[in-house]
């Protein structure tokens, strides 16, 4: 059994310390094989916020895969935004903006969907779609094949359609055909698991809420996902864990069972 802890949108600078402590306790209890952070690491891409995020991630008991989000590019410093937008992200998490993780049971591929010329919306290019499809095609049958983006590859509600990833249709079709099982994302602070229709093979969008930030949506508390993959059985379970204020802990609130095609 391999376990991914999927966190998103912590927006360090707006983090709630009791929630961060509860998330650390969950990670220590679960001992995931990989922690995925799918963007919006900081609130305003400030060095102190990146340092706080790096300090938190360093205390988690697992390897990590970290992607930038639109909040991780300077907003008000136009020179930095246009000419060196990822300098602070790189200083905190390294030069690789599209990291990958490869183990006997997991293939996890990061895609940088931020664009310095866009304030909020994300985009996946044809070159990125083709690169990821090629990597997916080389996966082994026992690997769960996961793509990570920041902005959602699909949305449940019409009012969120403006936040959907630009280029999502081509990405869905190509990545499903190449063997992707799930696409992890964040950005809209709304957790859900969604089967993507009319594709060459089954593929799911798995979204996380905001992990530790005070910037929660009404009816959507702080939340994270645990993705459990049993390679021997070929079964995948996605667990949504919400922060419960009364317990000062993350508690499991939803379990979705997937059956990836092999």
Q: How many domains does the chain divide into?
A: 1
- Residue 53: the pLDDT is 98
Return d(Cα 158, Cα 187) in angstroms, integer: 16
Burial (0-12, 13-18, 19+ Cβ within 10 Å), 60: middle
Average pLDDT, the chain: 96
- The answer to whether the CB of 74 falls within 8 A of the CB of 80 is yes
- Residue 78: the pLDDT is 60
- The parent domain of residue 100 ranges over 2-258
Question: Partners of 185 in the beta sheet?
Answer: 207
Q: Which residues contact 203 (CB under 8 A, 6 or more apart)?
A: 172, 175, 176, 180, 181, 182, 183, 195, 196
CATH of the domain at 44: 3.60.21.10
The pTM assigned to this predicted structure is 0.97
Mean local confidence (pLDDT), 193-199? 97
- Residue 119: the pLDDT is 72
Beta strands in 62-209 (DSSP E): 64-67, 100-102, 106-110, 144-148, 182-185, 192-195, 204-207
- The answer to whether the CB of 6 falls within 8 A of the CB of 226 is yes
Return d(Cα 44, Cα 118) in angstroms, integer: 15
For 62-75, the DSSP string reads S-EEEE--GGGS-S
pLDDT tens digits for range 236-253: 999 999 999 999 999 999
- Residue 76: the pLDDT is 73
Place of tokens 């990146």: 50
């Amino acid at each position: 059994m391999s376990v991914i802890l999927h966190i998103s949108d912590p927006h360090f600078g707006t983090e709630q310390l009791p929630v961060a402590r509860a998330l650390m306790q969950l990670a220590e209890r679960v001992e995931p094989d990989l922690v995925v952070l799918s963007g919006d690491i900081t609130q305003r891409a400030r060095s102190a916020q990146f340092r706080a995020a790096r300090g938190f991630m360093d205390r988690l008991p697992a390897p990590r895969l970290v992607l930038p989000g639109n909040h991780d590019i300077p907003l008000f410093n136009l020179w930095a935004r246009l000419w060196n937008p990822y300098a602070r992200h790189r200083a905190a998490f390294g030069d690789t903006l599209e990291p990958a993780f490869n183990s006997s049971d997991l293939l996890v591929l990061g895609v940088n969907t931020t664009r310095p010329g866009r304030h909020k919306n994300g985009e996946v290019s044809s070159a990125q779609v083709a690169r990821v499809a090629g990597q997916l095609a080389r996966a082994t049958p026992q690997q769960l094949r996961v793509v990570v983006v920041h902005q959602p590859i699909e949305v449940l509600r019409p009012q969120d359609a403006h936040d959907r990833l630009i280029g999502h249709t081509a990405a869905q079709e190509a990545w499903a055909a190449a063997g992707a099982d799930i696409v992890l994302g964040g950005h809209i602070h709304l957790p859900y698991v969604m089967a993507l229709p009319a594709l060459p093979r089954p593929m799911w969008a798995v979204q996380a809420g905001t992990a530790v930030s005070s910037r929660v949506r009404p009816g959507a508390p702080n939340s994270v996902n645990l993705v459990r993959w049993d390679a021997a059985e070929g079964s995948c379970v996605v667990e949504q864990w919400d922060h419960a204020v009364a317990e000062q802990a993350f508690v499991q609130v939803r379990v979705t069972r997937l059956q990836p095609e092999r």
